[in-house]
Homo-oligomer: A and B are copies of this chain.
Amino acid sequence: MPKVSEKYREARRAEIARAALRCLERKGVRDTSIADIVEESGLSIGAIYSHFSNKAELARYVAGRFLFPRVDALEEQGSLGVVITPRHALEGMLTALTTTGINPSLILQFWAEAMVDAELRQSMVRTVDQLRTSLGIAVMPWARARTASEDQAARLACESARSISALAQGYIANTAVFGPHPYSDYLAGADTVLAS
């Protein structure tokens, strides 16, 4: 099939998704209706349904396109032999979060959506598995320096990746529910609590 048409389709999907994202940021996941997206995009109901089979698929597309963090940078740093500690990686994620301006409230709402949409949840798990792999590579030099065998190093790297994501999730959820908070304070607080 012609590549031009393929490109056009994808552009249209992205256009709809951007309109949807604007609505989501303004009104939240629960309160944005298809009618809202129709109005925001200037298209018709049918136009949207000819590019997405339903609201859930559109939501998944928005999440995959605009909400899941880009993970490439970390892997590069690791493969160049720069020694990255898990803490550096966590700090990198938290700065990326603030600089990209992704809405913590929206992320939290999509996590909740994943509790009730198995496919969204799967794609989240897949994305974080990629992240985990990247982190695993980036953090391997550090892990090797702290363990006896290559096997133990790999396991340590993998385990620390889950902890990194859990810690990042804590920051996002806390920020969303109780208001913004510099991540340096969050890390310093976590340090003293855990060390006590």
Residues of chain A at the chain B interface (Cβ within 8 Å): 27-31, 85-88, 90, 105, 108-109, 111-116, 121, 124-125, 128, 142, 156, 159-160, 162-174, 176-178, 181, 185-187, 189-196
Contact = CB atoms under 8 A, between A and B. Distances in A.
Given A166-B186, A173-B169, A189-B160, A112 B121 contact: no
Nearest to A105: B115
Copies in the complex: 2
Given A170-B166, A174-B169, A193 B109 contact: no
Main SS at interface, chain A = helix
Contact of A128 (B116, B172, B178): B178
A173 B170 contact: yes
A181 B27 CA distance: 33
Shortest 6 CB-CB contacts between residues of A and residues of B: A170-B170, A163-B189, A112-B112, A166-B174, A85-B196, A28-B116
